[in-house]
Amino acid sequence: GENVEQHPSTLSVQEGDSAVIKCTYSDSASNYFPWYKQELGKGPQLIIDIRSNVGEKKDQRIAVTLNKTAKHFSLHITETQPEDSAVYFCAASIGSSASKIIFGSGTRLSIRP
């Protein structure tokens, strides 16, 4: 079946440094790739998304890149801050109609002060 792989599972970076999380997907028809931030005891919150007709998207300190050929997409957070500490999930839509999304296994990001 379709799956999304995410690495690393944990990531610790110094405050002010950059963090990169990588995902791969298996469904060649996937066309929507959201990234979510989840804090303890809460639901996932969308932080950025990218569609298959775009290779890169940026929103202030957050950027996402997509390589459709390699089926890779990555999240980049620059100038990390303590409030960036959370669990981050990548996801990919399934099928050309994006009937649902499935999640990667998550990355626990810790920002060291």
Partner 1 sequence: GAVVSQHPSWVICKSGTSVKIECRSLDFQATTMFWYRQFPKQSLMLMATSNEGSKATYEQGVEKDKFLINHASLTLSTLTVTSAHPEDSSFYICSAKSGTATMLYGYTFGSGTRLTVV
User: Which residues lie near partner 1 (CB under 8 A)?
Assistant: 32, 34, 36, 41-46, 49, 89, 91, 93, 98-106
Judged by beta carbon, residue 15 or residue 51, the one nearer partner 1 is 51
Q: Edge-to-edge strand order for the sheet containing 56-59?
A: 4-7, 19-25, 72-77, 62-67, 56-59
CB of 83 to partner 1, least distance (A): 18
Torsion of CA 36, 89, 68, 48, to 10 degrees: 20
Phi-psi region of 61 (alpha: psi -120 to 50; beta: other; left: phi over 0): alpha
Judged by beta carbon, residue 32 or residue 85, the one nearer partner 1 is 32
CB of 31 to partner 1, least distance (A): 8
Judged by beta carbon, residue 13 or residue 102, the one nearer partner 1 is 102
